[in-house]
Amino acid sequence: MTWDIALILGVDGLANGAIYLLAGLGLVLIFSVTRVVFVPFGDIAVFAALSLAAFETGRVPPTIGLVAFLALIALLTELGSLARRREFRHAPKAVLVWGILPLVPCAMAWMVAHQGAPAAIQVAVSILLVVPIGPLLARVVFQPIADASVLVLLIVALALEFLLSGLGLLFFGPEGSRTSPLASGSLTLADGFTVSGQVVLMVGVAIIVSGLFFLVFERTSMGKALRATAINRVGARLVGIRPARTAMLAYGCASLLGGFIGVLIAPVTTMYYDSGFIIGLKAFVAAIIGGLVSYPATALGALAVGIFESFASFWSGALKDAIVFSLLIPVLMMRSYMAKNQEEEIEEIDQ
């Protein structure tokens, strides 16, 4: 391997790491607030990518039908819950929140598809179109079992992943799609080495979105509520923060991140209805490196996964996924060893 090849692989690794960074932040956010390992996170990114591809070909995105279907199920679930508690006065609010608001981006997407719009608007609407998916899934699937164990929540999340893959096949079909590059041109570095504009855009958006993510958590009341719920759910409830509401905020923010991932990765990879599973798994590796609690460690883990994957694909394209997932073994062994030492220290203090 020459230095030129290593540099090319390193740049590709940074681009992949930028995608896994955004996905890892979404996974850690949802887990810290709800204790749910949101396995279907990658499917939301895929739906955004396929929506953008539909816009570019002049078709109405099938995501509209998917969101409308999920909104109907969520609305019926909420109305059924209100009926059991005999709280019929909240029915109009339920219709607004679960029946009407999710359809707003659907109406925007329908108008864009029929009337035509600039590429920037198509990208923005593709992102907004998938934002309701996370909260809708949470209301139907995870909110009724919010107090279950982490293992039960994980099993349900895995089942939901296969269900979403089936719905993706039903709504989008088996054909793959790839969109036009969002950024043209290239950036010339030292010694004549060039980086495509799409790669620069991917890394730049990851940095900007991560910075905004940090500012929201540190400077806004919404971010502080999310942090409080992540640190202590009971304490947050005692000071007036509703965990169910913050959970929906977490799912909404994660869906927004998934939308960014979808439109960024669509020009460089052909996306299929089931491509989200592998994206979610690699982001999960990054989140595990961060312990599912640390955002900075997750960011470093995402960059490590991206670079490791890039070099692994050079050594063996057929085994690159297995090589990447093998990163879990030393990480889990190290965390198990550290947890054992902490338990021993606690026992010594008790004695």
Distances (CA, A) of 260 to 45, 88, 96, 120, 165: 7, 38, 26, 13, 20
Beta-bridge partner residues of 187: 195
Question: pLDDT digit string (tens) for 196-225?
Answer: 788 888 888 888 888 888 888 777 887 778
Residue whose pair of structure tokens reads 């006065």 in the numeric block: 89
pLDDT in tens, 175-192: 888 888 887 777 777 666
228: β partners: none
DSSP assignments along 19-60, one per residue: HHHHHHHHHHHHHHHH----TTHHHHHHHHHHHHHHHHTT--
CA end-to-end span of the chain, whole Å?
Answer: 56
Counting residues of the chain whose pLDDT is more than 70, the rounded percentage is 92
Q: Which two tokens stand for residue 205?
A: 């958006």
Check residue 138 and give its pLDDT.
92
Q: Residue 47 and residue 63: Cα distance in Å, rounded?
A: 7
Rounded distance between C-alpha atoms, residue 39 and residue 347, angstroms: 35
Residue range 101-122, pLDDT digits in tens = 999 999 999 999 888 788 889 9
Three-class DSSP category at 188? strand
pLDDT, tens only, 19-75: 888 888 888 888 888 888 898 898 999 999 999 999 988 889 999 999 999 999 999
Across 84-97, average pLDDT: 89
Cβ contact 299:212 at 8 Å: no
> Given the structure tokens 């570095």, which residue do they identify?
189
